[in-house]
C-alpha cells in the first residue's frame, strides 16, 4: 500500500478524466484504488466512508474475483445458533450455524428452534436431488425445425456431454431437458457441480455445448441464459424440478418439549402451519409455502459466502407440521427413542437451495472462517459431500426457524419478541 497522497493523486486523475474509475487497479494496488474511490465518492456525495473503508479482508483477493470498482466492505453482524444434532446423508454430528443478519430476534428465534430440535435428539436431513441448470435459448425457423433440433439433442447427448465436460474437471452433465415455444428452443442443461454452487461452471460448460448445437443443427443461439434455468427469479420450474440441492429436514418433538420450550401445543402449531403456510400461501399465489425459510437461507448465505441473489430460489420451501399420537423423539440416526404421549412432526423441504463450499464468495476470509465453524471449508471427500452437508445443515436451520416462528405466532409472542429484541 502507498502513502496517503497516492489515493488523492489517483482521485484527481479520475476527476480530470485521465483515468476511468474502474481502471485504478491497473495503476496501483487494490487497497489504494479503493481508497481513491472513497475520496472521490466522499467529495461528490458529502458522505463519510470511514467505516466502509475500515475492512479486514484482502482487497487484492476481493477484486480478483468478487467485486469491481471496490470502495470497501459492507459489514453485517454475525451471530451463531446451535449446537444442533444433524443426521444427514452427508452432515453427521453437532453443528453451530453462523448467521449474518440485521434483523433483531432472528438469531434468537432460530437458536430457540435449534435448542428444541437438539432437545428432541436432533433432526434428520437428506439431499434428495442435485443439479445446477443453465438453459440457453435458440432461434429456429419454426416448429418443424424445432422438432428436428430436439431430436438431434436427444440422439447426441453424449457429444454435448463431451463438449460441456471439456471445460471442467469437476462438473458432470446429467441431463439436457428440452422445451419448445413457437420458434424458440430451450435446452435446460443440468450439471452435478460437486462442491461448487456451479453457476460459472455450468455457464462455461454450456457455452461449449451450445456451440456444438449451433454447428450441427439449424438452431441459432440467442442467449446463453434463456430464463428457463431459472437463476435469481421466482420461477415455478425451480420449485417443481429443483435447482442446486433439493433438501429436506425433519424432526419429531415430544409434546412436553413443545409445551415447555415453545409455550404452545403441537395442535396449535399444526393449525398455524395449515392456515398460514398452506392456505394463506395458496391464496397468495406464493411459491413458498413456509413462514420465513428465506430468513435462515439469507443469513446463512451471507455468513458463508453464497450468492445472496439466490435467496430467491432458496425460499421455494414447503413446511409441513402434524400433531401426532405416540410421537417419539428423533434420535438423530433415523430411528426413534422413547415413546411419549404424542407430539409434533415437522419438516421443511427446500426445493432449490444453491450452495457451494468452493468458489464464489466462499474464499473470502469471514466467509471461509464461517465455513470452518461448520467444518466445511473447501472441497469434500467425496467431491460434493461438503456442499451436500451445508445444504442439510441450512435445512435444519430453516426447520428451527419455522418451528420457533410458528410457535411464536401460535402463542401470540411475535410482536412482543420483536419489540424486545428487534427495535
Ligand X SMILES: CC(C)(COP(=O)([O-])OP(=O)([O-])OC[C@H]1O[C@@H](n2cnc3c(N)ncnc32)[C@H](O)[C@@H]1OP(=O)([O-])[O-])[C@@H](O)C(=O)NCCC(=O)NCCSC(=O)C[C@@](C)(O)CC(=O)[O-]
Catalytic residue list contains 354:
no
Contact 363, 372 (CB under 8 A): no
Report H helices in 225-354. Answer: 236-241, 255-262, 266-272, 281-284, 293-304, 311-314
183: Cβ contacts below 8 Å, ≥ 6 apart: 139, 140, 141, 142, 143, 145, 146
* Contacting residue, 28, 115, 248, 357, with ligand X by CB under 6 A: 115
Query: Which residue number has the CB closest to ligand NDP?
Result: 359
295 binds, among ligand NDP, ligand X, none (CB under 5 to 8 A by kind): ligand X
Set 6, 29, 42, 103: catalytic member: 103
Could you tell me how far CA 318 lies from the centroid of its own chain?
Answer: 16
302 binds, among ligand X, ligand NDP, none (CB under 5 to 8 A by kind): none
The answer to whether 379 contacts ligand NDP (rule: CB under 6 A) is yes
* Contacting residue, 25, 195, 313, 392, with ligand NDP by CB under 6 A: 195
Cβ nearer to ligand NDP, comparing 113 with 379: 379
Catalytic residue list contains 418:
yes
* Contacting residue, 148, 212, 383, 421, with ligand X by CB under 6 A: 421
Rounded CA separation 150/169 (Å) = 28
Q: Which of residues 184-243 bind ligand X (CB under 6 A)?
A: none
* Contacting residue, 85, 109, 273, 330, with ligand X by CB under 6 A: 109
Catalytic residue list contains 22:
no
Nearest Cα residue to 247 out of 326, 161, 131, 337: 131
Cis check for the bond before 230: say yes or no (omega within 30 of 0).
yes
Report H helices in 132-219. Answer: 143-155, 157-165, 199-216
* Contacting residue, 310, 315, 320, 404, with ligand X by CB under 6 A: 404
The answer to whether 112 contacts ligand X (rule: CB under 6 A) is yes
**Helix/strand/coil for 239:** helix
Count of residues that interact with ligand X, criterion CB under 6 A: 20
DSSP 331: -
> Contact residues for ligand X (CB under 6 A)?
103, 105-109, 111-112, 115, 263, 291-292, 295, 404-405, 408, 413-414, 417, 421
- Supply the residues annotated as catalytic: 103, 307, 418
Amino acid at each position: 500500500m502507498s502513502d496517503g497522497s497516492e489515493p488523492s493523486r489517483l482521485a484527481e486523475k479520475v476527476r480530470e478524466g485521465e483515468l476511468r474509475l474502474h481502471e485504478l487497479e491497473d495503476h496501483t494496488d487494490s487497497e489504494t484504488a479503493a481508497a481513491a474511490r472513497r475520496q472521490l465518492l466522499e467529495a461528490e456525495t458529502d458522505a463519510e466512508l470511514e467505516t466502509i473503508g475500515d475492512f479486514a479482508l484482502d482487497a487484492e483477493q476481493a477484486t480478483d474475483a468478487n467485486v469491481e470498482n471496490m470502495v470497501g466492505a459492507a459489514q453485517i453482524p454475525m451471530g451463531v445458533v446451535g449446537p444442533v444434532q444433524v443426521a444427514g446423508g452427508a452432515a453427521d454430528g453437532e453443528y453451530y450455524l453462523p448467521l449474518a443478519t440485521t434483523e433483531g430476534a432472528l438469531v434468537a428465534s432460530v437458536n430457540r428452534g435449534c435448542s428444541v430440535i437438539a432437545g428432541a435428539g436432533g433432526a434428520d436431513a437428506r439431499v434428495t436431488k442435485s443439479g445446477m441448470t443453465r438453459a440457453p435459448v435458440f432461434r429456429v425457423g419454426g416448429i418443424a425445425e424445432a422438432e428436428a433440433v430436439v431430436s438431434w439433442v436427444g440422439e447426441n447427448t453424449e457429444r454435448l456431454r463431451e463438449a460441456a465436460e471439456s471445460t471442467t474437471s469437476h462438473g458432470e452433465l446429467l441431463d439436457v431437458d428440452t422445451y419448445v415455444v413457437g420458434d424458440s428452443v430451450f435446452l435446460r442443461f443440468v450439471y452435478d457441480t460437486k462442491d461448487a454452487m456451479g453457476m460459472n461452471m455450468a455457464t462455461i460448460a454450456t457455452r461449449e455445448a451450445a456451440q456444438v448445437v449451433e454447428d450441427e443443427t439449424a438452431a441459432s443461439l440467442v442467449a446463453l441464459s434463456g430464463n428457463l434455468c431459472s437463476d435469481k427469479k421466482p420461477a415455478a420450474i425451480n420449485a417443481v424440478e429443483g435447482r442446486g440441492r433439493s433438501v429436506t429436514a425433519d424432526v419429531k418433538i415430544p409434546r412436553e418439549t413443545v409445551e415447555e420450550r415453545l409455550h404452545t401445543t403441537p395442535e396449535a402449531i399444526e393449525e398455524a402451519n395449515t392456515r398460514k403456510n398452506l392456505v394463506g400461501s395458496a391464496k397468495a399465489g406464493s411459491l413458498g409455502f413456509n413462514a420465513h425459510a428465506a430468513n435462515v437461507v439469507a443469513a446463512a448465505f451471507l455468513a458463508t459466502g453464497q450468492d445472496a441473489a439466490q435467496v430467491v430460489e432458496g425460499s421455494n420451501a414447503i413446511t409441513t407440521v402434524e400433531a401426532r399420537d405416540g410421537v417419539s423423539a428423533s434420535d438423530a440416526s433415523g430411528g426413534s427413542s422413547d415413546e411419549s404421549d404424542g407430539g409434533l412432526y415437522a419438516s421443511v423441504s427446500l426445493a432449490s437451495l444453491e450452495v457451494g463450499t468452493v468458489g464464489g464468495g466462499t474464499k473470502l476470509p469471514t466467509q471461509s472462517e464461517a465455513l470452518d465453524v461448520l467444518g466445511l471449508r473447501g472441497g469434500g471427500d467425496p467431491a460434493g459431500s461438503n456442499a451436500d452437508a451445508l445444504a442439510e445443515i441450512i435445512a435444519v436451520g430453516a426447520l428451527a426457524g419455522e418451528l420457533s416462528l410458528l410457535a411464536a405466532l401460535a402463542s401470540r409472542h411475535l410482536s412482543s419478541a420483536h419489540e424486545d429484541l428487534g427495535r
